[in-house]
Amino acid sequence: MNGGEVVVETLLSRGVEAVFFVPGGTNVTVLEALSRNQNKIRSIPTRLESSAVFAADAYSGIRKKPACVICSRAPGATNAAIGIHSAQQASRPVVLFITNIPRRLKGREAFQEINYHLMFADIAKAVFDVNSINEVADVVARALDLSVSGRPGPVVVAISKDILDEDIEPRIPHVSAPVRIGADADAVAAAARLIEASKKPIILAGEMIGFENANEALEKFAEATGAGVMTAYRQQDSFRNDHPAHFGHLAINRLPYQEEALKESDLIIAVGSRLDSITTADYTMLKPNHKLIMICPDADAFSQWQADVAIGSHSIPAMKAIAAALKGAPPADRIAWRDKVHKAEVEFARPGEIKVHGDVDMARCINQFNEIVPKDAIMVSDAGTFGRWITRYYRFNKPNTELSPISGAMGYGVPGGVGAQVANPDATVFVWVGDGGFLMTGHECAAIMQEKLPVKIIVCDNNCWGSIMTHQRKRFEGWDFGTRLQSPDFAKLGEGYGMPSFKVTRTEDFAGALKDMLAVDGPAMLHLLTDIRDISPFTGSAQ
Ligand SMILES: Cc1ncc(C[n+]2csc(CCOP(=O)(O)OP(=O)(O)O)c2C)c(N)n1
Ligand SMILES: [Mg+2]
């Protein structure tokens, strides 16, 4: 077998089913081997390496298993870096294979040479350099295993082209048993006592809930404890929004009712969360009135917090064990408080409160979207303030339905739609993207068409980089610079790619266009024109 075949055999041994790639002169053998295994590993070419990594991130978010990316050396690898950072922040097991310059040229700033250890040191779980053909299978297997162990994350593997061209009869390492990290009995008992003593407990549901398929277990845990549930940043699908324990989403904008609930609360139970900066309001969320129970499979995450009970565990075993250790049902006053806070969340998500200036009221559009689109549709969102209308008004009532860049990387949306649809070919996949974000990676409509992926794209066009314009105006009243955009006609652009496209300029036309879009048997685009004054639903008026 040549080195490329060894790579592919090892991917097959680990059950890898999808590879996203941009071809390069150095990865010919790998792609040749992949081309012969299309029935086992679907290999999707994207038009840019960042798109390949975003697609892999989205894929692994839905399938909860590693997704691979193949790109070529320095120019390809640097393009891929934004996606590796994003996968790190989202805890997604993406394995990036960089097919590298020949070994004999290394260390002399040869053509397209970069030191990947230095380049990815801070954003990958590990960077492996394959030194000989003998190591290929071992290193590839190790990279895949590492990507999903503990807290999942991206791993980078660099393999020189000359290694890939050599031949060997490889020994593919056998697949090790999945690592289960369980809860310590003493810590479980201590957690149960803290919960029993609490008047107003809040569960904070982190990114591991979705990845570990712990949504149902979380619901049971919430019911056993009587705690409210706040979902961590961009984890809105981790807990049913219509559940009476739902306290909303901890996002960039802190909401008064959430602040109030946190102020009143005496116990935070962080489950499957590393307690990232946005979720914790830049690490300021915990106050002296709070006890903290922290459950996380990554031991390193505990060093940032002074938990009262620290449980190094996956979510399901810890939640089950704590629930079993609780004496009795939650008291009535705890449930009454929970219901009160949930009511405030329901009010907050009711459209009509924000006065808009233009003819499109995004709140009402999302409300119609809630009614028309199947609840198990996957919502892929790019970065941008248009997304706040979705996070505020869309009701996530099914697991596995939210994908967005936890890193805030623009350009995630359309490639994320590619990955989501490959991960679940039967799902209705919606991509929400701004006019700014679309022009970063919207060209992946070409991949959508070529791969026949029925992704539906909604471009929220406010003719500006709205998020940044808002910052500018907050700092210097009435001033903006470099944030107004002269955007193309996105509906025409969609047609250019070959997808039926619709344009909406008034709220009352949205539902009809959405239905038309859903009736398209294949990809479709909706160009939703909003007013430049209606950027955000968070400041009284929409601006
Ligand atoms: C790759 C990248 N570049 C720049 C930014 C900074 N940034 C965040 S949001 C934003 C504007 C988004 O504009 P658009 O997609 O039109 O959405 P809007 O905010 O207008 O709804 C920018 C430039 C970023 N997050 N990611
Ligand atoms: Mg915009």
Residue 435 CA, ligand 2 centroid: distance in Å? 5
In a mutational test of the pocket of ligand 1, which residue from 78, 381, 468 has the highest number of ligand atoms less than 8 Å from its CB? Answer: 468
Residues in the chain: 543
Q: Is 411 in the pocket of ligand 1 (CB under 6 A)?
A: yes
- State the fold for domain 362-542: Rossmann fold (3.40.50)
Three-class SS state of 378: strand
Residue 462 CA, ligand 2 centroid: distance in Å? 5
Output the pLDDT for position 541. 47
On whether the 185-348 domain is CATH 3.90.580.10, my answer is no
Per-residue pLDDT of the chain (543 residues; tens, 9 = 90+): 999 999 999 999 999 999 999 999 999 999 999 999 999 999 999 999 999 999 999 999 999 999 999 999 999 999 999 999 999 999 999 999 999 999 999 999 999 999 999 999 999 999 999 999 999 999 999 999 999 999 999 999 999 999 999 999 999 999 988 888 999 999 999 999 999 999 999 999 999 999 999 999 999 999 999 999 999 999 999 999 999 999 999 999 889 999 999 999 999 999 999 999 999 999 999 999 999 999 999 999 999 999 999 999 999 999 999 999 999 999 999 999 999 999 999 999 998 878 899 999 999 999 999 999 999 999 999 999 999 999 999 999 999 999 999 999 999 999 999 999 999 999 999 999 999 999 999 999 999 999 999 999 999 999 999 999 999 998 999 899 999 999 999 999 999 999 999 999 999 999 999 999 999 999 999 999 999 999 999 864 444
Do residues 255 and 348 touch, judged by C-beta distance below 8 A?
A: yes
Output the pLDDT for position 229. 98
In a mutational test of the pocket of ligand 1, which residue from 362, 385, 407, 465 has the highest number of ligand atoms less than 8 Å from its CB? Answer: 465
- Ligand closest in space to the Cα of 410: 1
Q: Is 83 in the pocket of ligand 1 (CB under 6 A)?
A: no
Residue 181 CA, ligand 1 centroid: distance in Å? 38
Residues 6+ apart with CB under 8 A from 174: none
Output the pLDDT for position 542. 45
pTM above 0.85, yes or no: yes
Task: Give the separation between CA 3 and CA 461, rounded to whole angstroms.
Answer: 47
Q: How far apart are the two ends of the chain, measured CA to CA in Å?
A: 61
Output the pLDDT for position 353. 79
- Label each residue of 81-144 as H, E or C: HHHHHHHHHHCCCEEEEEEECCHHHCCCCCCCCCCHHHHHCCCCCEEEEECCHHHHHHHHHHHH
Q: Any idea what DSSP says for residue 383?
A: S
Tens of pLDDT, residues 393-437: 999 999 999 999 999 999 999 999 999 999 999 999 999 999 999
Output the pLDDT for position 104. 97
Output the pLDDT for position 506. 98
Task: Give the separation between CA 290 and CA 79, rounded to whole angstroms.
Answer: 43
Residue 441 CA, ligand 1 centroid: distance in Å? 12
What are the sequence ranges of the domains in the chain?
3-165, 185-348, 362-542
- The bridge status of strand 155-160 relative to strand 201-205 is unpaired
Output the pLDDT for position 538. 81
Residue 138 CA, ligand 1 centroid: distance in Å? 40
Task: Say which residue the tokens 């070994």 belong to.
Answer: 103
What CA dihedral angle connects 520, 525, 529 and 533, to 10 degrees?
120
Q: Is 466 in the pocket of ligand 1 (CB under 6 A)?
A: yes
Residue 62 dihedral angles phi and psi, to the nearest 5°:
-85, -45
Output the pLDDT for position 483. 96
Q: Whose CA is nearest to atom 11 of ligand 1?
A: 465
Of 263, 267, 265, nearest to 254 by C-alpha is 263
Beta strands in 179-242 (DSSP E): 201-205, 228-231
Residue 447 CA, ligand 2 centroid: distance in Å? 23
Do residues 337 and 200 touch, judged by C-beta distance below 8 A?
A: yes
Q: Is 384 in the pocket of ligand 1 (CB under 6 A)?
A: yes
Output the pLDDT for position 543. 44
- State the fold for domain 3-165: Rossmann fold (3.40.50)
Instruction: State the sign of the Cα–Cα–Cα–Cα dihedral 48, 99, 38, 424.
Output: negative
- Distances 263 to 236, 304, 348 between C-alpha atoms, Å: 22, 21, 18
Residues 6+ apart with CB under 8 A from 120: 81, 84, 127, 156
Q: Is 437 in the pocket of ligand 1 (CB under 6 A)?
A: yes
Task: Give the separation between CA 337 and CA 245, rounded to whole angstroms.
Answer: 10
Residue 453 CA, ligand 1 centroid: distance in Å? 26
Do residues 98 and 116 touch, judged by C-beta distance below 8 A?
A: yes
Tens of pLDDT, residues 166-202: 999 999 999 988 888 999 999 999 999 999 999 999 9
Do residues 460 and 386 touch, judged by C-beta distance below 8 A?
A: yes
In a mutational test of the pocket of ligand 1, which residue from 252, 410, 486 has the highest number of ligand atoms less than 8 Å from its CB? Answer: 410
What CA dihedral angle connects 47, 53, 58 and 63, to 10 degrees?
110
Do residues 409 and 387 touch, judged by C-beta distance below 8 A?
A: no
- Ligand closest in space to the Cα of 535: 1
SS percent in the chain: helix, strand, coil, step 5: 45, 15, 40
Same fold, 185-348 and 362-542: yes
- Atom in ligand 1 nearest the alpha carbon of residue 438: 15
Q: Is 139 in the pocket of ligand 1 (CB under 6 A)?
A: no
Task: Say which residue the tokens 């029925």 belong to.
Answer: 454
β-bridge mates for residue 294, sequence order: 270, 310
Residue 434 CA, ligand 1 centroid: distance in Å? 8
Amino acid letter for position 151:
R
Task: Give the separation between CA 361 and CA 357, rounded to whole angstroms.
Answer: 8
Residues 6+ apart with CB under 8 A from 471: none
495 sits in which H/E element: helix 490-497
